[in-house]
Amino acid sequence: MFRDIFDAIPPSPVSLLEMVEKIEREKGTRVVRFDVAEPMFAPPWNAVKGTMDALLKGKHRYSSSWGVPELRHAITQYLKETRGLDYTPDEILVTTGGKFANFAFFLGLFKPGDSVVLIKPYWTSFRAVPMMLGLKILETWARDPYHLNEEDLKGLMKMRPRGIVVNTPNNPTGGLLDNGDLKLLNDLAEDYDLYVLSDEIDWAYVYDGRRFVSPASLSGLRERTIVTDGFSKIFGMTGWRVGFAVGPQELLRRLHVVQEHTVSAPTTFAQYGCLSALEGLHGPHQHGREGMR
């Protein structure tokens, strides 16, 4: 039974990296990947320097299992400036990538047999992780490119799900939830007492004058939503493996339990590099030389 579930889990695009490198080496060609969301720009130079400085200053030890306090403070400012959200540093958990923040959401807030709603099309890991954890998955299609289908969602509520995942801007369509979608999400979450995962890792990839609104900016959603985000997609810092989960303490402390007993905390000097990346948003911006492929 256990084996069957693992055999059925689709691979993540990251697992193809070695194969891609082998093709590039053997064929002497460059593979342009559309399967993995990895920016082609280099990380900011101050992030690289901040990471090196941290090592030289002896930041070699474990950090707080919640993440470096200065970084958590800087993330509260970032959330305020980028999407108008008000959180305090004790509502921020710095994680090993956005991926681990999502994992901790599923493990921390649900028990095996609980159902969660996924909106198709979605990124592979939104299905893989709940499958691993023995959760039931309920699926509905978005209306193109990423709007909620009220009738289908209301139909799914009869199955009594405990949670729902939204990913705006959406990977893979790039679509955004609009105000009507957010109002519907708010009403469903309140009426059916759902936990909401709002994966906002691509928040800045918004085009054509459209506007990204975080679901957590609606008061009915804020208290039941975990926002996840990170440094991979916006800062080109995929290899740092730093992300964060944001939410009310009552929920977030459960995600913290998952982190403290598994990875302890993200890499300390990588967190300082991320702090420098955020500080650099207010100063001159320079890309580093490394990282371009």
Q: Do 97 and 243 contact (CB within 8 A), yes or no?
A: yes
Q: Which C-beta is closer to ligand PLP: that of 100 or that of 192?
A: 100
Question: From the list 72, 103, 199, 256, which residue makes contact with ligand PLP (rule: CB under 6 A)?
Answer: 199
The minimum distance between CB 171 and ligand PLP, in angstroms, equals 4
Q: What is the DSSP letter of 240?
A: G
Nearer to ligand PLP, 140 or 198 (CB): 198
Query: Rounded distance, CA 290 to CA 284, Å?
Result: 18
Are residues 227 and 221 in contact, defined by beta-carbon separation less than 8 angstroms? Answer: no
The secondary structure of 75-134 as a DSSP string is HHHHHHHHH-----GGGEEEESHHHHHHHHHHHHH--TT-EEEEEES--THHHHHHHHTT
Beta bridge partners of 119: 140
Q: Which of 43, 67, 97, 215 binds ligand PLP (CB under 6 A)?
A: 97
- By CB under 6 A, is residue 271 in contact with ligand PLP? no
Judged by CB under 6 A, does residue 127 bind ligand PLP? no
Give yes or no for a contact between 145 and 178, defined as CB atoms under 8 angstroms apart.
no
Residue 222 within binding range of ligand PLP, rule CB under 6 A? no
d(CA 87, CA 78): 10
Q: How far apart are CA 206 and CA 123, in angstroms?
A: 18
For ligand PLP, the binding residue among 167, 214, 225, 267 (CB under 6 A) is 167
Burial class of residue 279 (count of CB atoms within 10 Å of its CB; 0-12, 13-18, 19+): middle
Would you count residue 175 as binding ligand PLP (CB under 6 A)?
A: no
Q: Which is nearer to ligand PLP, 192 or 213 (CB)?
A: 213
Q: How far is the CB of 128 from ligand PLP (least distance, A)?
A: 12
Query: Closest distance between ligand PLP and the C-beta of residue 244, in Å?
Result: 9
Q: Which of 16, 20, 37, 263 binds ligand PLP (CB under 6 A)?
A: 37
Cα(116)–Cα(112) distance, rounded to whole angstroms? 11
| Residue 201 contacts ligand PLP per CB under 6 A | yes
Q: Does 162 engage in binding with ligand PLP (CB under 6 A)?
A: no
Map the footprint of ligand PLP across residues 75-94, applying CB under 6 A: none
232 binds ligand PLP (CB under 6 A): yes
Q: Which residues bind ligand PLP (CB under 6 A)?
A: 37, 97-99, 123, 167, 171, 199, 201, 230, 232, 238, 243
